[in-house]
Structure 1
Amino acid sequence: MPYQTCAAMASRSVLALLALGASVPAWAVQAPTKVQVPTLAFDDQSIILVWEKPADHSAIKDYRVYANGVLLGSSNANNDRVSPAKPYIDRFYEQDRDNFHHRIGIHSYTAQGLKPDTQYRFTVRSVAADGLESVDSPVVIQRTTPVPVVFDVKKYGARGDGKHLDTQAIQRAIDACTPGCKVLLPEGRYKSGALYLKSNMTLEITAGATLLGSERAEDYPLAGYIQYPYSSTVRPASLINALPRDPHRHQGFENIRIVGQGTLDGNGWKRKADTLDELGQPLPFYLPSDNTRFMEDGILARAQVEQAIARGMNTKDAYGQMRSSLITLRNVKNVFYGGFTVLNPAFHGIMNLETENVVLANTTHKTYDANNGDGIEFANSKGAMVFNNFFDTGDDCVNFAAGTGAEAVHQKPQEDAWIFNNFFRKGHGMVVAGSHTGAWIQNILAEDNVSDGTDAGLRMKSTNFMDGGARQVIFRDSAMRNTVKQAFVFTLDYNDPNAKLDYRRSTVPGQFRDIRVSDVTVENARGAALEVKGDSKSNAYHAGLVFERVRFKGPATARIDGLKDSHFNQVVFSENAGANPWHVIDSPGLTFEEVTPQPL
C-alpha cells in the first residue's frame, strides 16, 4: 500500500480515537524531522532551532526541546515569549468559537541564556494532547559564538539625540569593526543617512534605540544600485546597505547579521494618528500616497522625488525609481535579520537581491499604509526562511521576484524558500510571487501561517510579456480571515502604475503551474475566494493547480478563466445562500472531486 494511503488511514484513525476521548497510541506520535539551526541564527547567548512536521501530524499539539538531554521547554510556550506573531495567532483562534479554522503548528524554539563558546546537543520530541511524547528527533549540535568585540557607536561620536546627523560616527564604527564583531546602537535616537555594512559583522539596534532615516535626499547617494543587470536607472542607496559603492561593480559579501529589539524608522511619510489593533496595541498609520500626492504626504519620499525632478526626471519615473528602501543587500551569502521593528520606509522595507541563505525571524513590520511599503522581498536569490514575524504592511508582506522581460532568462531563478508561523494583518498579499517573474520563482513552501485582513493570501501576478512565472509552490496548513480582494489569485492581468518599463518585453507570457494548496480555511473572503486569469486567446494557460481540503465560509466566488489540467478535491463553500460560486470559462482539463457545491 502506498505510504500516502497508509498515512491518510492512520490520520483518520487518530482523529477517530481523539473524538472518542481515547488516549493517543504511541505509534501515532511521530518525531519531527530535519531539525536545524537556521543560517546565523545563533550568537554567544542564544540558538534558534526549527524543524519540519512529520508526515502525519494530526495528533501533535506541541513540541518539546531538549539540550544535552535536559528539557528546555515547549515550542508553544517559548514562542509566547519570543515571537511577535504568536499573541495575534492565539487571538485569532480565540475568536474562532465554532472551530472552523485549521489549527497551525508552531515548530521553532529559541534557546536563551546559554554560555558563550559552548557546544550544545539538541533533540526535539512531538507531544500529543494527552502529553505522550514521540521518540527523539535526530540530534543537532551547535556551538554558541565567543563573546564578540563590541564597537559602540557613541564611542565613535554618535549623539543619539534624534537631531544631529550621526551617519559618519556610525559608519566609523562599522569601518573599524573587526571580523566577528558587533556594532552596537545603545538606547537613543540616531538620525542617519545611508550606512554601508561589510562582511562578518553584526549590527545590533538594542531595545530603546531607533535608527531614524534622515529626511534629506542628499544623505542617500545616487550611486546606490541598479535593480537588474539590464536596468537603466541607478537608484539611491537605502538606509542600511550591503552594496558596492559603485553600482556597476560586482562585489560579494558574507555573514551579516542585523538584530536587536530596537527600531528601524525610514522617515518616509507623514504619520497620521495611531490606531489600536485587536490586542489594544498602538499601530502607526502612514498617509497613503501615490505619484500625485507625495508633495502633501511625503517626508524623505517627497525630498527624493523632488530632487529627481529637479535633475530632469519626469514625476512618474522619479516616484517609481528614486525613493530609498529601508535595507538593501546584494550578493550576500548568509544573512540573519532578527528581533527588530520596521517602520515607515520611503519605498520598500527589506530588499534581498541575488542573496543566498537569508533568515528573517521574530521581527515586526508596521508600515501600513506607506505606499510600496513591502515587508521583505527576495529577488533572484536562493534559500530564504521567514518565520515568527508580524506583518502589517503598505504593500506585499513576503514577496519574490525573478527579473523582467526578455533578458531575465540570463538570470538565476528565485528559489527555495520556507515561510511559516507568521501573522499577516494588512498587506496586498501574505505570500506573493511576481510581478517580476522572468527567471522563474520556484520551490516555495508556505505553511502554518495565519492572516486577518490582507488583500490576498497567495498572490501570483505577472503579464503576457514578462516570461517565466512560478512553479513548485506549496501553500498549506493555514488559516485566513477577511481577505479584501482574493484569497487566492493567479493572474496575467497585473499593472503597476509606478513601474518604469526599462527592459525589453518578452514574447513569452508568465505562467503559474504545479501549485498545491491544501488544508486551508478561509472565512469571509470579501472579494473572490479564487481568481485565475490566464490568456486563453493566446494559448497562455496556467496549469497544474491542485486544491485539496480547502474550505470557504461566507459568501464567496471562484472565477476561473485560462486554466488547464488542474484538480479540485474536497473544496467546500458554505453559507453561500444557495448560489453556485463556480464561474469557469475557457479552462480545459479541470476535474472536481467531492466539491460542494459542484460547478455548473
Structure 2
Amino acid sequence: MPYQPLQKTSARWALALVAISCSPLSWALQAPSRLQVPTLAYDDQQIILVWEKPLAHADIKDYRVYVNGTLLGSANGNNDQVSPAKPYIDHFYQQDRANFHHRIGIHSYTAQGLKPDTQYRFTVRSVDGSGKESADSAAVVQRTTKVPAVFDVTTYGAKGDGIHLDTLAIQSAIDACPVGGKVLLPKGTYKSGALYLKSNMTLEIAEGATLLGSERAEDYPLAGYIQYPYSSTVRPASLINALPRDPRQHQVFENIRIVGKGTIDGNGWKRNADVRDERGQALPFYLPSDNTRYLQDGVLAKAQVEQAVARGMNVKDAYGQMRSSLITLRNVKNVFYGGFTVLNPAYHGIMNLETENVVLANTTHKTYDANNGDGIEFANSKGAMVFNNFFDTGDDCVNFAAGTGADAVHQRPQEDAWIFNNYFRKGHGMVVAGSHTGAWIQNILAEDNVSDGTDAGLRMKSTHFMGGGARNVTFRDSAIRNTVKQAFIFTLDYNDPNAKLDYRRSTIAGQFKDIRVSDVSVENAQGAAIEVKGDGEHNAYHQGLVFERVRFSGPARARIDGLKDSRFDRVVFSETGVANPWQLSDSQGLTFNEVEPAPL
C-alpha cells in the first residue's frame, strides 16, 4: 500500500491538539502509528520498518523495536549502522553548540540477520529521555523471502576488469533470471552500455563492485524514451532501464529491486580534484559544465552531444535532451532502491516516470557538481518513500514533476510522497516541486530532514504558462544551515536555459497553494529566508501558505510578492542587522501572529 501523507486543515489540526491536551491520557507517552514495511523493503535476510511519530512527540528521544515480543534494538542505534546520512546528521548537531536547531527524530529500523522464508511480528514503542516506554504500536507481520536463485554475471562472461565491455554478459544474466531471481555483480568494475531490466527481479551490485557506464554514445540506444506523451524528442537510453524497446509502445513492469553496497557510476564528466567535506571525508567534485564547455569537461556527456550534433541537432537541444541519465524506469509498479552509491551521471540520476510505490533507502548520491545531476526524480507517479539517504548533488536532490503546458491536464498528477531522515549537503534544493507542474504535484510530506549547504530548502518553481502547480505540501520538523539562495522559495519566475519548449503553453499559470512549513530552524541563510514570486501581470498569485514556529538566524530576509490568504505564526528572525526583515508587495490577506520582528 503506498504511503499517503495525512493532510490536515488548520481547524482540524487545532482540534486535534485540544483533544490531546484534554484527554485523560494526555501525559502518557504515545506509541508510534502506521508501522509498516515499505514496498519491497525486505529479502531473505532483512526487513525494513518505518512508522509515523505520534502527534505529541516532543518528549520522544528514540524508539525501540520488538520482534516476536523480544527487544531487537533502538532506531537511533540501528540508524548509525545502516544510514549513510546519520554520521552527517550527528556532526551537524555537534556543531550546534547554541542549541538553536530543531532536533529531528529517526523513525525507521532495518532488521538484519533474519532467516529466509520466516514470518516475523514487529511492534515499536516510543521512548522518552528517562527511558520510559510507551505501549506497543499496532503490530506488523512480514515474512522474509526464500533464498533467491542467483545469476552471477561472471558466469555469463563478464570480465569485471573495467576495460572490456560487459553489456552483453550482464544483459544475458538479466534475460536468464527467473521470477524472484537475483542478478549479481560481484566485486570488480563492470563497464557497460544500456541494460534493460524486467519484472520480478533483483539487480544487486555487491560491495566492492562498480557498474561503470561506457563512455561511448553508441552503447546507449537512441530509441530510449520520450519524457511526456506530447514530447517531440526521443531521448537515449539510460545505463539502467525498465523501458519498452520502442519508446512509443506501452509496457508495464512490476516488482523491481536495485540493491547492494556497490557503486553505479555514469562516467558522464571529468572528475576534478576531490574535496574534503565537513567530516573530513573525501567527496568527488565533477567539473561544472554547460552547453558551451561540454567538449572539454565531458566524457559520456561529450560523446552523446557530439553524436547528436553530427546528426544535425543544434547544440542547445542536443545538450538538453540527448545525454543519458543513470537509471530510468517507466510504468513500473513496486520499486525498491537500497544501499548503493550513485556517481557521475551524464544527465539526471534516478528517473521514475509514471511509477507506483517507489522506495529509496540508505543510498548515497555523490554527483556534485555534474550539470543536471539530480538525485532522484518522480514524474506523474503515485506513492514514494525517500529516507536515510545522503545527497551531494549537482542539481535538485529530490524532485517532483507533473508535465508541461496545456496537454498535461490529460496526465495523472504526481502525488503521495514521504521524505524523511535524509541529509542534504549540496544541491539546488532539498525537496523540489517543479518546474514541470502541469498536472499538479500534491500530497507531499517532508519531515525530520537535515541540510547544510544546499541552494534552497523547499524549492517550488513554475511559470505563468506551465499550468497546474503544487498543493497540500507539508515541510516540517527539520534543520537547515547555510542555504546559498533561499531557505524557502515559491516562484513563477523560473527559466531553464536548456529546456526545449516542445509543448503547448497553458493559459493558466502555475500556482503553489496550501503549503505548510512548521517547526523548522534555519541558520545563516545567505539569500532570502522566504521568497514568494507570483505574476501580477498574468493575475497569478500563490495562496494558502502557512509558516508556524519557524526561526531564522542570519542576514536573510523575507521577500513576498504575489501572495494571498496566508498566515505567519511565531516566525522569528534574529541577527538580521535590519529593523524590518519583511519586504511585502502586491499581496493581500496576510496575517502575522507573534512574528519577530513584526512587519512595519
* CA distance in structure 2 between the aligned counterparts of 1:341 and 1:289, rounded to whole angstroms: 22
Distance 1:10 1:479, change over 3 A: farther
Change over 3 Å in CA distance of 1:248–1:7 after alignment to 2: closer
Q: Is the 8 A contact 2:20 2:26 kept in 1?
A: no
Any idea what SS the aligned residue of 1:285 has? coil
Instruction: Name the CA distance, whole Å, in 2 between partners of 1:3 and 1:538.
Output: 34
Alignment match, 1:246 = 246
- SS of aligned partner of 1:27: coil
Matches for 1:561-580 after TM superposition, within 5 Å: 561-580=561-580
Q: What CA distance in whole angstroms lies between the structure 1 residues aligned with 2:445 and 2:365?
A: 21
Distance in 2 of aligned mates of 1:552 and 1:9: 28
Aligned-residue offset at 1:472: 0.2
Q: Secondary structure at the match of 1:334?
A: strand
Map of 1:487 onto structure 2: 487
Q: Secondary structure at the match of 2:78?
A: helix
Letter in 2 for 1:487: A
After superposition, residues 52-67 of structure 1 pair within 5 angstroms as 52-67=52-67
Give 2:370's aligned amino acid.
A
Partner SS state of residue 274, structure 2: strand
Match of 1:581 in 2: 581
Structure 1 position 10, deviation (Å): 9.6
Residue 368 (structure 1) aligns with: 368
The match for 2:522 is 522
> Partners in 2 of 1:538 and 1:370 — Cα distance?
35
Give the match for residue 204 of structure 2.
Answer: 204
Q: State how far apart, in whole Å, the 2-side matches of 1:200 and 1:367 are.
A: 29
| Paired residue type of 1:281 | Q
| Structure 2: distance between partners of 1:246 and 1:6 | 53
How far off its partner does 1:118 sit?
Answer: 0.2
Q: In structure 1, what is the equivalent of residue 227 of structure 2? A: 227
| Native 8 Å contact 1:26 1:134 kept in 2 | no
Aligned to 1:502: 502
1:396 is paired with a residue whose SS is: coil
Taking the aligned partners of 1:91 and 1:58, their CA distance within structure 2 comes to 22
Cα shift readout 1:7-30 (whole Å, capped 9, x = no counterpart): 6579999xxxxxxxxxxx993310
Q: Find the counterpart in structure 1 of residue 142 from structure 2.
A: 142
Conservation of the 8 A alpha-carbon contact between 2:464 and 2:538: no
Question: Whole-Å Cα distance in 1 between the matches of residues 431 and 44 of structure 2?
Answer: 33
Equivalent residue number for residue 185 of structure 2: 185
Question: What amino acid does structure 2 have at the position aligned with 1:246?
Answer: D
1:327-406, aligned counterparts within 5 Å?
Answer: 327-406=327-406
What is the CA–CA distance in structure 2 between the aligned matches of 1:201 and 1:30, rounded to whole Å?
39
CA distance in 1, matches of 2:264, 2:421: 23
Partner of 1:86: 86
CA separation of 1:583 and 1:199: change in aligned 2, threshold 3 A: same
CA 1:450 to 1:149, structure 2 compared with 1: closer, same or farther past 3 Å? same
- 2:528 counterpart letter in structure 1: A
Q: Which residue of 1 aligns with 2:319?
A: 319
Describe how 1:121-200 pairs up with structure 2 within 5 A: 121-200=121-200
> Is 1:34 equivalent to 2:41 in the alignment?
no
Normalising by structure 2, we get a TM-score of 0.97
Deviation, 1:5, is 5.3
Residues 306 and 51 of structure 1, relative CA distance in 2, 3 Å threshold: same
The amino acid of 1:566's aligned partner reads: S
> Aligned residue for 2:258?
258
Q: Shift of the alpha carbon at 1:4?
A: 5.1
List runs of 5+ in structure 2 lacking aligned partners: 1-10
- Separation in structure 2 between the aligned mates of residue 399 and residue 455 of structure 1, nearest angstrom: 14
8 Å CA contact 1:217–1:300 kept in 2: the answer is yes
Distance (Å, rounded) in 2 between the aligned partners of 1:155 and 1:372: 36
CA distance in 1, matches of 2:66, 2:115: 16
- The aligned counterpart of 1:476 is 476
User: Match of 1:136, SS?
Assistant: coil
Q: Distance in 2 between the 1:12 and 1:287 partners?
A: 55
Pair 1:60–1:3, CA change in 2 (3 A)? farther
Structure 1 residue matching 2:202: 3-state secondary structure? strand
Q: Which residue of 2 aligns with 1:49?
A: 49
Residue 280 of structure 1 corresponds to 280
Q: Which amino acid aligns with 1:505?
A: R
Contact 2:545 2:567 in 1 (8 A): yes
Counterpart residue number, 1:599: 599
1:323-367 residue CA offsets vs partner (Å, 9 max, x unmatched): 000000000000000000000000000000000000000000000
Residue type at the aligned position of 1:397: C
TM-score, normalised by the number of residues in structure 1: 0.97
Deviation of 1:281 after TM superposition, in Å, equals 1.3
Q: CA deviation at 1:538?
A: 2.1
Offset, 1:196: 0.1
- Alpha-carbon distance between aligned partners in 1 of 2:14 and 2:459, rounded to the nearest angstrom: 31
Q: Give secondary structure in 2 for the equivalent of 1:489.
A: strand
Separation (CA, whole Å) in 1 of partners of 2:425 and 2:369: 12
> 1:3: Cα distance to partner?
8.1
Match of 2:421 in 1: 421
**8 Å contact 2:241–2:328 — kept in the other structure?**
yes
Residue 26 of structure 1 contacts residue 132 of structure 1 at CA under 8 Å; is this kept in 2? Answer: no
Q: Distance in 1 between matches of 2:371 and 2:568?
A: 36
CA contact (8 A) 1:28 1:59 kept: no
Q: Distance in 2 between the 1:8 and 1:179 partners?
A: 49
CA distance in 2, matches of 1:573, 1:93: 20
8 Å CA contact retained: 2:458, 2:475: yes
The separation in 2 between residues aligned to 1:119 and 1:597, in whole angstroms, is: 57
2:461 maps to a residue whose letter is: K
| 1:292 pairs with 2:292 | yes
TM superposition shift of 1:485 = 0.1
Q: What's the counterpart of residue 19 of structure 1?
A: none
Alignment of 1:108-119 (within 5 A): 108-119=108-119
* 2: CA distance, partners of 1:343 / 1:394: 11
Is the 1:341–1:366 Cα contact (8 Å) retained in structure 2? yes
SS at match of 1:589: strand
Q: For 1:273, what is the secondary structure of its paired residue? A: coil
Residue type of the alignment partner of 1:54: P
In the alignment, which residue of structure 2 is the partner of 1:236?
236
Q: Report the number of matched residues.
A: 589
Distance 2:469 2:12 in 1: 32
d(CA) in 2 for partners of 1:275, 1:494: 30
Partner Cα separation in structure 1 for residue 496 and residue 15 of structure 2: 47
Preserved contact between residue 326 and residue 345 of structure 1 (Cα < 8 Å): yes
- Offset from partner CA, 1:376-422 (integer Å, 9 cap, x none): 00000000000000000000000000000000000000000000000
Query: Aligned to 1:162, what secondary structure does the other structure show?
Result: strand
Moved over 3 A (4+): 2-13, 25-28
Letter in structure 2 aligned against 1:49: L
Letter in 1 for 2:263: T
2:307 maps to 307
CA distance in 1 between counterparts of 2:19 and 2:470 reads 33
In 1, the alpha carbon distance for the partners of 2:45 and 2:414 equals: 33
Distance 2:133 2:411 in 1: 47
Q: How many Å separate the matches in 2 of 1:304 and 1:244? A: 21
Q: In 1, Cα distance between the equivalents of 2:409 and 2:14?
A: 40
Output the CA distance in 2 between the equivalents of 1:512 and 1:7. 26
What runs of 5+ residues in structure 1 fail to find an aligned partner? 14-24
Aligned position for 2:76:
76
CA contact (8 A) 1:7 1:56 kept: no
The DSSP-based 3-state class of the residue aligned with 1:308 is: helix
Residue correspondence of structure 1 range 16-35 to structure 2 within 5 A: 27-35=27-35
Cα distance, 1:579 vs. partner?
2.8
CA distance in 1, matches of 2:458, 2:17: 26
Looking at structure 2, the residues matched to 6 and 492 of structure 1 have their Cα atoms a distance apart, in angstroms, of 34
- In structure 1, what is the equivalent of residue 4 of structure 2? none
CA distance in 1, matches of 2:120, 2:243: 35
**1:202-236 Cα deviation digits (max 9, x unpaired):** 00000000000000000000000000000000000
